[in-house]
Structure 1
Amino acid sequence: MSFVCRRLVVGISLALAASPLVAQETKLPAGVTFVTTVEGVSEYKLANGLRVLLLPDASQPKVTVNCTIFVGSRHEGYGETGMAHLLEHMVFKGCPKFPDVPKALRDHGANFNGTTWVDRTNYFETMPATDDNLEFGIELEADRLVRSFIKREDLMSEFTVVRNEFESGENSPTRILSQRIAATAFEWHNYGKSTIGNKTDIERVPIDNLQAFYKKYYRPDNAMLIVAGKFDAAKALGLVSTHFGPLKNPATPIPTTYTEEPPQDGERIVTLRRVGTVGATGVAYHVPAGPHADFAAVEVLEDVLTAAPNGRVYKALVESKLATDVNGNVFAWHDPSLLEITATCEPAKTEAARDALVATLENLATNPVTAEEVERTKQKAALYRERALSNSQSFAVQISEWAGAGDWRLFFVHRDRTEKVTAADVNRVAKEYLIRSNRTIGVYVPTAGPERATVPAAPAVASLVENYKGRQAMAAGEAFDPTPENVEKRVKRGTAGDGVKYAALAKKTRGETVNLTLTLRFGNEESLKGQVTACDFVGPMLTRGTTTKTRQQIKDDFEKLNATVSITSTLGQMAVTIQAKKANLPAVLQLLGDVLRNPAFEAKEFDVLKRQQVESLEEGKTEPQVLASYALRRKLTAYPADDVRYAPTLTEAIDRTKAVTVEQVKELYIKQIGGTVGELAIVGDFDEGTAVAGVTAILKGWKSDTGFKRIQRLPQDTPGGTEKINTPDKANAVYLAALSMPLIDTDPDYPALSVGNYLLGAAPLASRLSNRVRGKDGLSYGVGSMVNASPVDKSGQFMIFAITNPKNMAKVDAAIAEEIAKFLKDGVSASELEDAKRAYIQSEKGQRASDAALARQLATSLFAGRTFEYYAEMEKKIESLQPGDVKRAFDKLVEQKKLLIIQAGDLESKEKK
């Protein structure tokens, strides 16, 4: 569970170091009024009604600009379903000052997107923190807020892209089941309609109607601009005043919604029958809106029911083997909402799982929620919000949800309410809302007098947030520019334990957070034969219990320490990632030591994990993406079946997973895993001596009986060809293509290949492939390419991917072939190469701005035996690239006739709609 709005985002949270910013220090620009400050977030308002939030964060060398328009699927009328989402796509098609929006964003090194949901639409871009990028983001959002082209010719190509996005969702039976449950629960309110819309509405919307919808809702007095990251607040307000201040509102007022869902007067059931192999069931209940006082207790109730491993529903269904997994959602919407819980299971157990699910939910009166359960959930909620408190960039986007629910300050109100929730509150809302007449059941099958729950209306938000002061803002971190040179100056290297290499980069961070990654390497090609599947299980099993602590106790202890810890494993390596607070890191490492050195390997926990893995694999038997990926992987890695690098079929993978035993996994751990070979990287706010000593205490004396020898990946020479995989009743098809290359990331051709690929298919919405297949032809929602190169083996790959409607597969195949041939024949121009070099370097710098990503990069450098001078030299090589360098590299390594092409989808159906 995550807090709040689990279907779309993780919990909304914030802490920013600031007073009322410029309001009390500098004269505000004309027409700008200071509204309020809460815990470092300052709100201003322009004369035209635009609301502005400023969230300075000097510790992040990035700036995020987010423009939120308060229009979503809730505001759509008859024949308009999907219109808010369609406009989200159209606004990227250009405006007078920026006729090519994706290229303008790419040129500024932006990580960008737009999203639409029930109550709001937002557009956001995160860029390196420069005055030029700040002005660009503000100017772009001002121009496209009221002057986007919304042209007929753009609509003609884009509606098929949106339809393809719609079709991609149609491939997931569990997602469709959730939509059917909502549609059945809401008879009148638009919350029962999918935000992506009705297929025919998407296809038939008149351009005049779309333009009218745009003009009706895209206006300053219906928008909020959020600026977060490293910027000067006074300068930002000046830019907002300059670019947004002159914008005018339409003469007509903003339309309001007024439909109210009446109390449900009886249980409802919906059944979904589609091609698949794994069953599912779900139930939903009407609950109050996000701003309502009961919502916090409802949210706690949902987690008490579904959280693994102690959730009521989890224990009743998963531990009894009626289901393999359960999930819950409760949505903080503007109007009364839904609490939804779903479970996946074997088809033969669907009815039993449904009955057990309902019985568990509606019999809480005989087995009330306890104070211990409530406190555990509240601790988890505090952890999630604390994590978001340290990331102003993420908050700048996530706050859109609470703004859409009524006011951004609701986040703080909701946090305060959650902290006060008691077991009595949770049991009260369970009794009031989890009743038969308020229930909607959904079942997915692969092949009485009235009882009413009156849901209260949403309260007046203004009275909830009026004069709200909040708490003391979190301390800020330092400004650090993550260039390769700066990283290399700050990093310290050494050895932890009995041989693990480490790299440590200490710096002040917001919230005193630290990110740590530890990779332990084990085994060799001979010792790991027959152990490949066991390797996948050993890491996840470690957090499921030690000789002294249960899985729940481990989870609780890490959450009490405000730490997020993950342990994964694969062939020959185990990886630990940690995000924690500086003060708690020693205790986190002590607990990690118990997890790593004293695992219990309980048969019950292993059985649950194995069943989940098997089910996940079984579900892939009818999924185009899964089948295409398995087929391509097998063709690219032609190793014999007894080789540890062999790529199994999906059926073989299922059989292997079913065959693995807990004894086998335990034996692998005892005989082959140790703490003498690996890499440790730490980035953030920490003391090097304390941190390294804590890891050394874990690793010291942990030796394996089996010697480690890295398993090499050999270059493959695979012939080209096309394979088609038919998956009936799947509305979305997948195109994959790839070839192997004798490439390592120190190869002289690697810089040219990387930048060339960025131009060909990696630049978001602005690559050759995207411009042709998505932009011009309107055939795909997602298309692109990538170049993969190992830091240690000469075994690289060039890959292309796309999704489309099955009937358009031949067109997609032809369009991609034409673009690849043209790229190989003509190469790139000097001007587009200059733009691409600049954008690529900015994109790489943006990646290093994340402490977690920087830690991974440091660990990779340790593994490859190099310093960050490698990345500095890489940038110099990129800056010196000429068009001829790109063409020569592609001519040398990318031979079009050797592309292995996999097409998967409903390719044989005679009638594709």
Structure 2
Amino acid sequence: MPRRPTPNPVRRTTLPGGLRVITEYVPSVRSASVGVWVGVGSRDEGPSVAGAAHFLEHLLFKSTPTRSAVQIAQSVDAVGGELNAFTSREHTCYYAHVLDTDLELAVDLVADVVLRGRCAVEDVEVERDVVLEEIAMRDDDPEDTLGDVFLSAMFGEHPVGRPVIGSVESISSMTRSQLHSFHTRRYTPERMVVAVAGNIDHDRVIALVREHFGPRLVNGREPVRPRKGNGRVPGQPSLQLVNRDGEQTHVFMGVRTPGRHWEHRWALSVLNGALGGGLSSRLFQQIRETRGLAYSVYSTIDTFADSGALSVYAACLPERFDEVVRVTTDVLADVARDGITEAECRIAKGALRGGLVLGLEDSGSRMHRIGRNELDFGEHRSVTTSLERIDAVTVDEVNAVARQLLARPFGAAVLGPHRSKRSLPKPLRALAG
């Protein structure tokens, strides 16, 4: 007897006002994750309000017309759930993770915060101090600090080169009026996606969203199209130095890449895995396992709509910095010239497949996947489709990507006890100008 086809667990509905609702039914869990994704991030800010998207994300949790900050916290604590948010360069997400029986509460809380957060004057002043503390905490973490400095070195005055968190100067001077205006102008239904995953029913989710978004669902608006950008980043990457006493020198170096809509993005992910994405990667083996030069070394990809960066990070004792740079630049040169091997390609593809599937073991990760896909691409991309795209990558494609990207101008950022750029290793200065 033929098997009945399995119904599609992912469903999508566009409500009046352009609000998109996407759900994934996961019958094996007893939880529900609700996220309201807003297609607004730090790259949408002017320089005078740098950090506004992140500041606002903090502020909206302080009070709504019907709940204080304490009542918001008590509501989620009483059901053992989680309520939180994060801001990136291109979007902001407010989310709740609860038992499936508390789905209605989760939709209510997230919608209340996102739509009706008050931006009260007294709350602005309290949260201003919290954000300034967060900046201080970032500054105390060399790797976090250097990550922001590196993107500045890569993208200069382009909006993605600015820190999501803003600066002490911009946060200190930002007014309640500016934050309230940012909220009312940017947080509109056509820029939003409601993503829900877990042991849930799509029609029930639609009814709850209609109830809690109510007057915002006005006819005549269409969803905002996925962000494309203009594809042009002015200037060239640079070399930046943060002179700071410490036990280690930290370095990021890398090249610009095309954005997330690039046809070779999966090959780029495989290249990243082979370079420094795992324990068997070239950089990890050469720098840590073979020579013992550093504890932390890896490569990573930052991807935006119209641009991105492939970068390498390492932290080591200052007296070992020259050798770490030499080995790293040698590895990059070898890969640019000769490419990676079939075995390296196979291992990197296997790591990608495993990471993708194992990373979707809970409702929260599934909510993040469907919400981000809808906002970034305007469609749902199934796990099966992604696995097929990974499988289709060939070593020749990866090596063509390596030749293309690693021939581009490098940028770099260094943090450590180095008084001037002239004191940095010659291979780094030659590579990053």
State the TM-score, normalizing by the size of structure 2. Answer: 0.87
| 1:338 corresponds to | 309
Counterpart Cα distance in 1 of 2:257 and 2:304? 10
| CA drift at 1:162 | 0.9
**Residue 176 of structure 1, CA deviation:** 1.5
1:1-16 counterparts in 2 under 5 A? Answer: none
Residues 1:362 and 2:371 aligned together: no
In structure 2, what residue type is equivalent to 1:205? Answer: M
Contact 1:18 1:41 in 2 (8 A): no
Question: Residue by residue, what CA displacement relative to the aligned partner does 1:381-418 show, whole Å, maximum 9, x if unpaired?
Answer: 11112213432332213444434433352565554322
State yes or no: 1:85 paired with 2:57.
no
The secondary structure found in structure 1 opposite 2:17 is coil
- Partner of residue 38 from structure 2, selected from 69, 72, 78: 69
2:282 aligned with 1:317, yes or no?
no
Aligned residue in 2 for 1:891: none
Return the letter of the residue paired with 1:98.
R
Is 1:111 the counterpart of 2:82? The answer is yes
Letter in 2 for 1:91: L
Structure number with greater CO (CA < 8 Å, separation at least 6) is: 2
Deviates more, 1:148-157 or 1:235-244: 235-244
Instruction: State the alpha-carbon separation in 2 of the partners of residues 81 and 415 from structure 1.
Output: 38
Report the 3-state secondary structure (helix = DSSP H, G, I; strand = E; otherwise coil) of the residue aligned with 1:284: strand
- How far residue 155 of structure 1 moved from its aligned partner, in angstroms, is 0.2
Equivalent residue letter for 2:121: R
Alpha carbons of 1:159 and 1:252: their partners in 2 closer, same or farther (altered >3 Å)? farther
> 167, 188, 199: which one pairs with 2:136?
167
Deviation of the 1:424 alpha carbon: 0.6
Counterparts of 2:275 and 2:135 in 1: how far apart (Å)? 31
Q: Which amino acid aligns with 1:311?
A: S
- 2:282 corresponds to which letter in structure 1? R
Counterparts in 2 of 1:262 and 1:307: CA distance versus 1, 3 Å: closer
Where in structure 2 are the equivalents of 1:124-163 lying within 5 Å? Answer: 124-130=95-101, 133-163=102-132
One of 264, 267, 274 as aligned partner of 1:304: 274
Aligned to 1:215: 184
**What TM-score, normalized to structure 1?**
0.43
Is the 2:16–2:219 contact (alpha carbons within 8 Å) kept by the matching residues of 1? no
Deviation at 1:77, TM superposition (A): 1.2
Deviations 1:541-599 (A, max 9, x none): xxxxxxxxxxxxxxxxxxxxxxxxxxxxxxxxxxxxxxxxxxxxxxxxxxxxxxxxxxx
Deviation at 1:377, TM superposition (A): 0.9
Query: Which of 23, 27, 37 lines up with 1:58 in the alignment?
Result: 27
Match of 1:285 in 2: 255
1:387 is the counterpart of 2:367: no
Secondary structure, aligned partner of 2:243:
strand
Q: Quote how far apart the aligned CAs of 1:261 are.
A: 3.7
**In 2: Cα distance, 1:438 partner to 1:250 partner:** 48
1:287 to 1:257, Cα distance in 2 relative to 1, 3 A: closer
Q: Deviation at 1:47? A: 1.2
Q: Distance in 1 between matches of 2:231 and 2:46?
A: 15
Encode CA deviations 1:802-837: one digit per residue, 9 max, x unaligned.
xxxxxxxxxxxxxxxxxxxxxxxxxxxxxxxxxxxx
- 1:102 alignment partner, one of 63, 73, 95: 73
Matched, 1:347 2:312: no
Map Cα deviations across residues 597-649 of structure 1 (whole Å, 9 max, x no partner). Answer: xxxxxxxxxxxxxxxxxxxxxxxxxxxxxxxxxxxxxxxxxxxxxxxxxxxxx
Q: Secondary structure of the equivalent of 1:282?
A: strand
Structure 1 counterpart of 2:239: 269
Bigger shift: residues 316-325 or 77-86: 316-325
Flag the 1:342–1:69 CA change in 2: closer, same or farther, 3 A: same
Task: Give the aligned residue type for 2:216.
Answer: L
Alignment of 1:590-605 (within 5 A): none
- 1:182 Cα deviation after fit: 0.8
1:248 is displaced (CA, Å) by: 4.8
The Cα offsets for residues 85-108 of structure 1, whole Å up to 9 and x where unpaired, read as: 111111111222333322222233
Q: CA deviation at 1:233?
A: 3.0
Aligned to 1:419: 391
Q: 1:281·1:442 contact (CA, 8 Å) conserved in 2?
A: yes
Supply the distance in 2 between the matched residues of 1:222 and 1:64 (Cα, whole angstroms): 20
The offset of 1:446, in angstroms, is: 2.8
**Per the alignment, in what secondary structure is the counterpart of residue 310 of structure 1?**
coil
Tell me the SS of whatever aligns to 1:301.
helix
Aligned residue type for 1:372:
A
Question: How far apart in 2 are the matches of 1:245 and 1:161?
Answer: 32
What amino acid is aligned across from residue 163 of structure 1 in structure 2? L
Deviation at 1:250, TM superposition (A): 12
Correspondence 1:239 to 2:211: no
| In structure 1, distance between residues paired with 2:228 and 2:269 | 25
Query: Is the contact made by 2:18 and 2:221 (CA closer than 8 Å) also made in structure 1?
Result: no
The offset of 1:326, in angstroms, is: 0.8
TM-superposed deviation, 1:170:
0.7
Aligned to 1:199: 168
1:230 is aligned to 2:199: yes
User: 1:58 and 1:40, CA in 2 relative to 1: closer, same or farther beyond 3 A?
Assistant: closer
Cα offsets for 1:491-547 (capped at 9, x unmatched): xxxxxxxxxxxxxxxxxxxxxxxxxxxxxxxxxxxxxxxxxxxxxxxxxxxxxxxxx
Q: Secondary structure at the match of 2:160?
A: helix
Q: Which of the numbers 269, 278, 297 marks the counterpart of 1:326?
A: 297
Q: Counterpart of 2:49 in 1: which secondary structure?
A: coil
Distance (Å, rounded) in 2 between the aligned partners of 1:408 and 1:120: 16
- The 1:269–1:355 alpha-carbon spacing in structure 2 relative to 1, beyond 3 Å, is farther
Give runs of aligned pairs for residues 621-640 of structure 1, distance below 5 A: none
The answer as to whether partners of 2:34 and 2:97 remain within 8 angstroms in 1 is yes
Matches of 1:378 and 1:317, distance apart in 2: 22
Equivalent-residue separation in structure 2 for 1:309 and 1:144 (angstroms): 42
Provide the rounded CA distance (Å) in 2 between the counterparts of 1:350 and 1:356.
Answer: 10
CA apart distance, 1:184: 0.9
Identity of aligned residues (%): 24
The partner residue of 1:190 within 159, 166, 171 is 159
Which residue does the alignment assign to 1:180?
149
- CA change 1:217–1:18 in 2 (3 A) is farther
Q: Residue 54 of structure 1: SS of its match in structure 2? A: strand
Q: Is the 8 A contact 2:36 2:193 kept in 1?
A: yes
Q: 2:81 & 2:336 partners in 1: Cα distance?
A: 52
Q: CA deviation at 1:142?
A: 2.8
C-alpha deviations, 1:357-392, integer Å up to 9, x for none?
Answer: 122113324432111111111111111122134323
Q: Please list, as runs of the form range in 1=range in 2, the aligned pairs for 1:322-721 lying within 5 A after superposition.
A: 322-407=293-378, 409-410=380-381, 412=383, 414-435=386-407, 437-446=408-417
For the aligned residues, what is the CA RMSD? 2.5
For 1:443, what is the secondary structure of its paired residue?
strand
Against the structure 1 CA distance between its residues 363 and 297, is the aligned structure 2 distance closer, same or farther, given a 3 Å change threshold?
Answer: same
Amino acid at match of 1:92: F
Q: Which one-letter code corresponds to 1:103 in the other structure? A: Q
Out of 201-210 and 326-335, give the one that drifted further. Answer: 326-335
Checking the alignment, whether the CA contact within 8 Å between 1:69 and 1:120 is kept in structure 2 is: yes
Alpha-carbon separation, structure 2, partners of 1:128 and 1:424: 47
Residues of 1 paired with 2:336 and 2:97: CA distance? Answer: 49
Query: What is the CA distance between 1:323 and its match in structure 2?
Result: 3.0
- The change in CA–CA distance for 1:273 and 1:252 in structure 2 (over 3 A counts) is farther
Deviations 1:758-807 (A, max 9, x none): xxxxxxxxxxxxxxxxxxxxxxxxxxxxxxxxxxxxxxxxxxxxxxxxxx
In structure 1, how many angstroms separate the alpha carbons of the residues matched to 2:186 and 2:140? Answer: 32
**1:423, distance to aligned residue in structure 2 (A):** 0.6
Measure how far apart 1:351 and its partner are: 2.2
CA–CA distance in structure 2, aligned partners of residues 410 and 440 of structure 1 = 33
Q: 1:336 to 1:250 in 2, by over 3 A?
A: farther
Write the distance in 2 (CA, Å) between the matches of 1:18 and 1:142.
32
Partner Cα distance (1:328, 1:207) in 2: 40
Q: Which has the higher helix share?
A: 2
